[in-house]
Amino acid sequence: MNSMRTMLLLTGLTGLLLALGGLLGGTTGMTIMLVVSIVTNFVSYWYSDKIVLSMYGAKLVTSQDSPELIRLVSALAQKAKIAIPKVYLTDADAPNAFATGRNPENAAVVLTKGIINVLDSQELEAVLAHELAHIKNRDTLISTIVATVAGVITMVANIIQWVVLLGFGKINQNEDNRFASTAEVIVMVLLAPLAATLIQFGISRAREFKADETGSQISGNPSALASALEKIERHAMDRVMPEATPATSHMFIVNPFSGKGNWVMNLFSTHPETRRRVEVLKQLAKK
């Protein structure tokens, strides 16, 4: 169900990008947007993990640095039947974690120093299993594609906005020789980025629920993951992660900005409510 929903939302995101291209330049504009989408996805596919690791100052952890941690990740990877990912550590005091990489064979798990200090051994194992679930389910690739296409949509909408503001209201002539009206352009410019954002959130939330479920199967301990999520969110209230950005917030196990905003910000969060995730995990534990 989640996989089908993700594919439908991805299709909708691509369609939105092509519609913007059509508004900007008819069939030619749609073709250009398709090419732009392919190129940006190709670049992000090969280099997004390196960019993110550099952004957060992540340092590679070896078996000499932390033999217990590497053994734990190796054992979980064997249970998940995937290649053993590289493990990185950041200096951030806020407890959190994320996975990155273009495929299960070239993946990495990133932990903050805070999560090592805050969680007990079972909770940490459950978090690692959740991140390995993202790798196993290829969510790292899906989230990269979604973030890239959503970013392109926002960029194109901004370009169209400036075209209109500079007085070129009739910016597109289609095959029927009908120009797009200024009103049509304005509506599309306003709605396209919002729609792209909502689609991105929909995909991200669906993949988090799926990773919780798969991760619980890998660790065999959904209760520990529920406890870890509650701890991480509670500490997010008073421990800041200055490197975190809205563009990468969807990658983390818990939104690094959770608890810092009002109900409106929580409504437009990249993650499901932690309370809801905990409820589902507790139901899994009963089973």
**Which range is least confidently modeled, 109-118, 136-145, 170-179?**
170-179
Tell me what the pLDDT averaged over the chain comes to: 80
**Residues 101-122: tens digit of each pLDDT:** 888 999 999 999 999 999 999 9
Mean pLDDT of 196-204: 71
- In this predicted structure, the answer to whether residue 241 has a pLDDT above a threshold of 60 is yes
Element housing 106 (H / E): strand 106-112
**67 or 139: whose pLDDT is higher?**
67
- In this predicted structure, the answer to whether residue 8 has a pLDDT above a threshold of 80 is no
pLDDT at 86: 97
Here the contacts of 49-53 (C-beta below 8 Å, separation 24 or greater) are 49/100, 49/101, 49/102, 49/106, 49/107, 49/108, 49/140, 52/100, 52/248, 52/251, 53/88, 53/100, 53/108, 53/110
pLDDT at 112: 95
- In this predicted structure, the answer to whether residue 237 has a pLDDT above a threshold of 50 is yes
**203 or 100: whose pLDDT is higher?**
100
- In this predicted structure, the answer to whether residue 263 has a pLDDT above a threshold of 90 is no
Q: How confident is the model at residue 50 (pLDDT cuts 50, 70, 90)?
A: confident
Please state, in angstroms and rounded to a whole number, the distance separating the CA atoms of residues 34 and 18.
Answer: 7
Mean pLDDT of 215-235: 95
Q: How confident is the model at residue 2 (pLDDT cuts 50, 70, 90)?
A: very low
Q: Could you tell me the CA-to-CA distances from 136 to 61, 74, 126 in Å, in that order?
A: 21, 14, 15
- In this predicted structure, the answer to whether residue 60 has a pLDDT above a threshold of 80 is yes
Active site residue 131: yes
Mean pLDDT of 194-212: 79
- In this predicted structure, the answer to whether residue 174 has a pLDDT above a threshold of 50 is no
pLDDT at 207: 87
Mean pLDDT of 244-272: 70
Mean pLDDT of 251-271: 68
Phi and psi, residue 89, nearest 5°: -130, 140
User: Which of 105, 123, 125, 131 is labelled catalytic?
Assistant: 131
Q: Could you tell me the CA-to-CA distances from 158 to 14, 19, 82 in Å, in that order?
A: 17, 15, 41
Cβ–Cβ under 8 Å, residues 256 and 244: yes
Find the angle CA(98)-CA(103)-CA(107) to the nearest 5 degrees.
Answer: 45
Q: How confident is the model at residue 177 (pLDDT cuts 50, 70, 90)?
A: very low
Cβ–Cβ under 8 Å, residues 143 and 207: yes
Mean pLDDT of 40-49: 74
Q: How confident is the model at residue 180 (pLDDT cuts 50, 70, 90)?
A: low
**180 or 80: whose pLDDT is higher?**
80
pLDDT at 154: 73
